[in-house]
Each structure stands twice: as C-alpha cells, then as structure tokens.
Amino acid sequence: MNQSTAIEIRDLVKIYRGSEKAAVNHLSLMIPCGEIYGFLGPNGAGKSSTLNILCGLRRQTSGTILIEGRDFREYSREIRQKIGIVPQDIALYPTLTAYENLLLFGGVYGLRRKELDKRIREQLHTFGLTSSKNKQIQYFSGGMKRRINLIAGILHHPCILFLDEPTVGIDVQSKRVILDTLKELNARGTTMVYTSHSMDEAQEICTSLAMIDEGTVIETGSPASLLEKHSECRNLEEIYLKLTGKRLRD
Ligand SMILES: Nc1ncnc2c1ncn2[C@@H]1O[C@H](COP(=O)(O)OP(=O)(O)O)[C@@H](O)[C@H]1O
Ligand SMILES: [Mg+2]
C-alpha cells in the first residue's frame, strides 16, 4: 500500500538559549498518514522539544518540518487549523467550568456555537464527564483534567493530533478511556504523534515508533518489526536498554 506522508522532519536541531548541548540533535524522520506514531525515550531525550516544534509551539534552531508536504514556516495558518495539540502541561482555566473551558478552546477554531455545543456534549459523554460539566476545573482530579485536556485538543476534528505524555500520572480508568479513545480516533483516520516514556503503553497503542536518545533517533519501526529484528529481547524496554545502555540520563 502506498501510504502518503503526514510529517517529514529534516535534520532538526534545537539548542535552547544559554544551553550548550542540543536538545534535538540532527533528527530526521518520516511519519506516514494513519499511524499512531510514538516518540519513546527517557526524561530529557528531546521528545517534548521535538513535538513542540512539530506543532508550532516552539521554533527550531535549524532544520525543516513539512506537514502534508508544506513547510510549517510558510503555511502556519493553514496547518494550525488541521492539527490538534494535547500538551504535557495541562492548559485549562481553573476557575472556569469544564464546559466553559471547552467552549473557549473550540471557539479558537471558529466552530459555530451550536455545533460546538453538540461536540462538547458528545465528548463529555465519551469520557464519562457529563455530570461534571458545570464544575470548575480547580475541583477536578488529575485524571479528569487530563481527559478535558484531551477533549480540548480534538473538538475541531484535527487530521493530525499531537499528544505529549497524555497518560502520565493518572488513574488506571482515566488512562484506559484515553488510550481506547486514541485508538478509536486513529481507526477513523486521525494520524497521531505521541510521546511516552512508558514502553508498555507504546507497545500497546503505537503502530510505529521512534526510539529517541540524546536528541536523536536511534531506532524506528513497528513494535512487531522491532521485536523481530531484536529477537533476543522480550519487549521494547529490553530493546531500548540494549541500544542505549543503563546509564541514567538525568
Ligand atoms: N525551555 C527550555 N529551556 C532550556 N532547556 C530546555 C527547555 N526545555 C527542555 N530543555 C532541555 O532540553 C532537553 C530535552 O528536553 P525535553 O525535550 O523536555 O525532553 P523529554 O520530553 O524527552 O523529557 C533536556 O536536557 C531539557 O533540560
Ligand atoms: Mg517531555
């Protein structure tokens, strides 16, 4: 099957001001349409830096990002309409209700009020949050906030969804509904780029992945193809340790 390319990353470099070491170090990657594509690696590997540049939240030091063949720097307005962002740090207004937060986020994408209201109700239902619709976010648990954070990123039905550690630090039930929803969205055609340091989780949901260490890609492939290639390893974690060694990274 000839899969078209959703994202192409060419020789990406990010050096933060005041830092001598590159956070992203000549990273190149092709991400085909229709994947749940994982960036896997330990803390400080450069996953968030790469993801934030891909979705336009940060600027690269050098290198090129093409989203569906278009350079982000030239077509940022068009691209922003097509992508969704679920950041690692929850970006919700604590004193507004869940519903009010979602109205704000959906409004940014120019959705009409009636359609937006319909989508918000549907998503709150899917994520088991209907009865908390009118509660202020400050009274939500961590897992509930993560679910709202995810809804905020998908209300406009993006073609490509970027998620940074969407299940970190939450209860098992919240994690389950998030992972199942991601799989469902993917089955309906959404391409996803997702970061995680959980190799187990990645093994479950990723169709392809890039293992990242010290700002660069050290291995790519589907979970099955990687397990076949590194046949002495029982799981992704063992492959990762084989490739990177056991030295602590931070
Ligand atoms: N805003 C920033 N300013 C300076 N250094 C940063 C900033 N954000 C991240 N870094 C550094 O860049 C490297 C990669 O970080 P990050 O992309 O957050 O990794 P990951 O998401 O894989 O944990 C780390 O060494 C981190 O300390
Ligand atoms: Mg990160």
The response to whether residue 23 sits with its C-beta less than 6 Å from ligand 1 reads yes
- Say yes or no: CB of residue 47 within 6 Å of ligand 1: yes
Quick one: fold of 5-86+161-244? Rossmann fold (3.40.50)
Nearest CA to ligand 1 atom 8: 49
**Confidence band of 128 (pLDDT split at 50, 70, 90):** very high
Go through the chain and tell me how many residues it has. Answer: 250
- Is residue 160 scored above 90 in pLDDT? yes
Ligand nearest to the CA of 165: 2
Q: Domain map of the chain by residue range?
A: 5-86+161-244
Confidence of residue 91 (pLDDT cuts 50, 70, 90): confident
Structure confidence by residue, pLDDT tens digits, 135-154: 999 999 999 999 999 999 99
Distance from the alpha carbon of residue 23 to the mean position of ligand 1, in angstroms:
6
Nearest ligand to the C-alpha of residue 23? 1
Instruction: Give the per-residue pLDDT at 85.
Output: 95
Is the CB–ligand 1 distance for residue 46 below 6 Å? yes
Which residue would you say has higher pLDDT here, 34 or 168? 34
Ligand 2 geometric centre to CA of 144 (Å): 20
